[in-house]
Amino acid sequence: MGKLKYALFTGCTAKQSTPEQMMSTMAVAEKLDIELVELTEASCCGASHLQDYDDFLSLVLNARNIAYAEKHGLTMVTICNTCQLNTAMTKHRLDNNADLKARVNEKLEEVGLVYAGTSKITHFLYAIIDDFGLDKIKKMVVTPLSQFNIAPFYGCHNIRPSELQNETHDTPENSYNPTSLDDLIIACGGNTVDYEQKNKCCGFHAELQAPKVAATLTGNAIAGAMDGNADWMVTPCPLCHLKLDTQTHHASVAVGREVSLPVLHMQQMIGLALGCPPETLGMKHHVTKVDFV
Amino acid sequence: MSTTTINTQKVNFNVFRFNADEDYLPYYENYSMDVTSEEVVLDILNRIKWDHDGSFSYRRSCRHGICGTCAIKVNGRVTLACKESMTDMIEIFGNELTIEPLSKKRAIKDMIIDKADFWEKHEAVTPYLDTEIDENPTAENLVTPAQANALDEADLCIQCGACHYACPVVEISDAFMGPAAFAAAYRFEADVRDGNDSRLTDVNQMGSGVWDCVKCFECAEACPKEINPIEKIGKLHNMLFQSGQANSNVATRHAVGFEKSIKRNGVLDEGGLVLYSELAGIVKHVPVALKMFSKGKIVPPWGIIKSDNLDEIQKLVKSSSTAKF
Ligand code: SF4
Ligand code: SF4
Ligand code: SF4
Ligand code: FES
């Protein structure tokens, strides 16, 4: 296998609210000898909210982002579930509708770009599983996480709608019984926690308009992990991370009990297992203290 | 000629049992059965009733995925019992299966639930063609294929309730209309023959409106007719903006705020977006924001790294925008 190389679409959150995710992504990529070419021209994916306001505009902007990955001739890697959903959804819609693709390209032409549909779009989690291989990760582990019970939190937008998601990676995932993140935990030497909410929603996307609903979902998720005897949680989605890490007060009020657990990004978990120095993983940027490192 | 081999497997079923007239709490009964690869979930329900316990209750009628009565949950997954193959269930979940009604808190007897909330919400969106009929028409009322396609299969809904009871917001908040009611609203809004001018705004004002969806895609995953209700909710959002009927609230400002931020920076200004969406409501976010700030999680507007080639993005926003606010 040659050196793996991807076009990295960071999304906005990794650059702002979750700096620790950006740091740990780069640290882990270096450890795994994966080259990430950052798409500095990319705009926001719209996070499914711009899509509510102006669907066509969101297609044009996402197609532009993909066009830059195509220019590099690389697969686009995302590190946010919602970026993954919106980008992959754009690709799916354009690749299956010649008329829509033509209308979008008419706009892109104005800025000298074209969407061809040649780049794959995959989340870093699946890039690691499909292309790098969990067996190789397993062999590289220097600090097995064997003393920890780790609760995987998948995040909706990596697993649903499953038909679309399964187009983007080779290892099949069933949204009702997902395994990718569990497999990653096991590869890192940890013990996985099975709990009802692991494939449920954290509520992030209705946080402003329906704060009680959102906080209840967040609270249920953390409570489920706690009742499953988890020491901490891990997620591939920075938006889930924000909910689970920073909103524990509102979540506790909503579900009527104190809920709180350290929550790691999947990159931080891999980094710990592979022996990256903790300061390169940004643990000090968490609101809920990561007390075991 | 091909021959199909029928495989048999032993499966352990944990079945939710409850009789609202007699039981204080529900309980689970265990049945172990040999399941053949050609059976569907409904066959198992029938066999529980016929071979094990005649009092076991569930709804079914057509056995052809049309009447919409047989939806239940298998290991938390909503399924139309008469359509779902046992082989698939075993493949996903293994040989330990839990059979439950669509909504445990609405259980009346075993799999039978009180679906009143579903029907009330469905009825509220005027789920029929609402128009003046010319009693002496002189021409046919033609609908072009393109106009028919605009319904986007929303007319295939069998009101089974699978999406409704898979929706986490319905589970938590009685005020939320739910994916099926919204999909029905879309189905009639998108129909050229419909003449109801107020359905869209009515729906937006019913209960907690169309904006409380958390975008979890559970409904899309649940629907046995592949109607994709969340996509229809997105279309209602688009219709509200396109027709200029979206009123200013935290959810609509949040959606519009993305465009504003993208125009300015290419990327999002996360703090600025919350401020623009909440207006005075911002105060309730201050405690969390302070904690985030102390951990280096908030980038001030002047610290935001704008997208390269921002002029392209600005040009595209200008030339491709269609919505109004
Ligand atoms: S789990 Fe929450 S934050 Fe993550 S993708 Fe789903 S809705 Fe978004
Ligand atoms: S996507 Fe929205 S409507 Fe559908 S199940 Fe989730 S919250 Fe409910
Ligand atoms: S939209 Fe689908 S899941 Fe929902 S009630 Fe109709 S047929 Fe059932
Ligand atoms: S029995 Fe009618 S839909 Fe299943």
pLDDT in tens, B88-141: 999 999 999 999 999 999 999 999 999 999 999 999 999 999 999 889 999 988
Identify the residue whose C-alpha is closest to ligand 1 atom 2: A202
SS3 A196: helix
- From the list B211, B291, B295, which residue is nearest A209 (CB)? B211
The predicted-structure confidence for A89-115, as pLDDT tens digits, reads as follows 999 999 999 999 999 999 999 999 999
Tell me how far apart the alpha carbons of residues B98 and A15 are, in angstroms, rounded to a whole number: 43
Cα–ligand 1 centroid distance for A154 (angstroms): 9
| Total residues belonging to chain B | 325
Tell me how far apart the alpha carbons of residues B80 and B113 are, in angstroms, rounded to a whole number: 15
Final residue before a domain boundary, out of B220, B242, B264: B242
pLDDT at B136: 92
Q: Is the distance from the beta carbon of residue B167 to the nearest atom of ligand 3 less than 6 Å?
A: no
The predicted-structure confidence for B303-316, as pLDDT tens digits, reads as follows 889 999 999 999 99
The predicted-structure confidence for A243-275, as pLDDT tens digits, reads as follows 999 999 999 999 999 999 999 999 999 999 999
Tell me how far apart the alpha carbons of residues B69 and B208 are, in angstroms, rounded to a whole number: 27
What average pLDDT does the structure give for chain A? 97
Whether the pLDDT of residue B149 is over 80: the answer is: yes
- Band the pLDDT of B1: cuts 50, 70, 90: very low
Classify strands B71-74 and B77-80 as parallel, antiparallel or unpaired.
Answer: antiparallel
How close does chain B come to A135, measured CA to CA in Å?
Answer: 24
Mean per-residue pLDDT, A163-169: 95
What average pLDDT does the structure give for chain B? 93
Listed by number, the residues of chain A in 114-153 with a beta carbon closer than 8 Å to a beta carbon of chain B are none
| Total residues belonging to chain A | 293
Task: Confirm whether B53 is domain-assigned.
Answer: yes
Q: What is the pTM of this model?
A: 0.95
Final residue before a domain boundary, out of B242, B260, B281: B242
Q: Are B27 and B107 within one domain?
A: yes
Q: Are A159 and A84 within one domain?
A: no
Q: Are A99 and A144 within one domain?
A: no
CATH number at residue A145: 3.40.50.11810
Task: Confirm whether B137 is domain-assigned.
Answer: no
- For residue A75, give the nearest of A18, A126, A12, A40 by alpha carbon: A126
Task: Confirm whether A290 is domain-assigned.
Answer: no
Q: Are B65 and B168 within one domain?
A: no
Q: Are B121 and B220 within one domain?
A: yes
Mean per-residue pLDDT, A133-150: 98
pLDDT at B249: 87
Residue B321: CB atoms within 10 Å: 15
Query: What are the φ and ψ backbone dihedral angles of B223, each rounded to 5 degrees?
Result: -65, 120
Model ipTM value? 0.96
Taking CB atoms and an 8 Å cutoff, what residues of chain A touch B216? 156, 160, 200-201
Q: Are A202 and A65 within one domain?
A: no
Q: Are A117 and A138 within one domain?
A: no
Q: Are B204 and B302 within one domain?
A: no
- Band the pLDDT of B5: cuts 50, 70, 90: low
Domain, as residue range, for B266? 250-320
Mean per-residue pLDDT, B54-78: 97
> Mutation test of ligand 1: which of B169, B212, B215 has the most ligand atoms closer than 8 Å to its C-beta?
B215
Task: Confirm whether B311 is domain-assigned.
Answer: yes
Q: Are B202 and B120 within one domain?
A: yes
Break chain B down into helix, strand, coil percent, rounded to 5: 45, 15, 45
Residue B103: CB atoms within 10 Å: 19
- From the list A53, A162, A201, which residue is nearest B168 (CB)? A201
Tell me how far apart the alpha carbons of residues A219 and A29 are, in angstroms, rounded to a whole number: 32
- Band the pLDDT of B3: cuts 50, 70, 90: low
Mean per-residue pLDDT, B291-319: 91
Whether the pLDDT of residue B205 is over 90: the answer is: no
Q: Are B96 and B57 within one domain?
A: yes
Nearby residues of B95 by Cβ (< 8 Å), 6 or more positions away: B9, B10, B11, B12
Final residue before a domain boundary, out of A91, A123, A155: A123
Task: Confirm whether A128 is domain-assigned.
Answer: no
Break chain A down into helix, strand, coil percent, rounded to 5: 55, 10, 35
Q: Which two tokens stand for residue A18?
A: 């979750």
pLDDT at B189: 96
How close does chain A come to B300, measured CA to CA in Å?
Answer: 9
Final residue before a domain boundary, out of A104, A123, A142: A123
Task: Confirm whether B227 is domain-assigned.
Answer: yes
* CB–CB contact B214 A44 (8 Å): no
Final residue before a domain boundary, out of B113, B138, B167: B113
Q: Are A109 and A185 within one domain?
A: no
- From the list A47, A210, A287, which residue is nearest B291 (CB)? A287
- Count of domains for chain B: 3
A234-270 burial: b if 16+ Cβ within 10 Å, else e: bbbbbbbbbbbbbbbbbbbebbeeebbbbbbbbbbbb
The predicted-structure confidence for A46-96, as pLDDT tens digits, reads as follows 999 999 999 999 999 999 999 999 999 999 999 999 999 999 999 999 999
Domain, as residue range, for A48? 5-123
- Count of domains for chain A: 2
Q: Are A108 and A161 within one domain?
A: no
* CB–CB contact A287 B297 (8 Å): yes
* CB–CB contact B319 A107 (8 Å): yes
- For residue B83, give the nearest of B6, B190, B160, B189 by alpha carbon: B160
Q: Are B82 and B199 within one domain?
A: no
Final residue before a domain boundary, out of A102, A123, A144: A123
Nearby residues of B130 by Cβ (< 8 Å), 6 or more positions away: B188, B194, B195, B196, B199
> Mutation test of ligand 1: which of B169, B212, B214 has the most ligand atoms closer than 8 Å to its C-beta?
B214
pLDDT at B207: 79
Q: Are A39 and A143 within one domain?
A: no
Q: Are A140 and A119 within one domain?
A: no
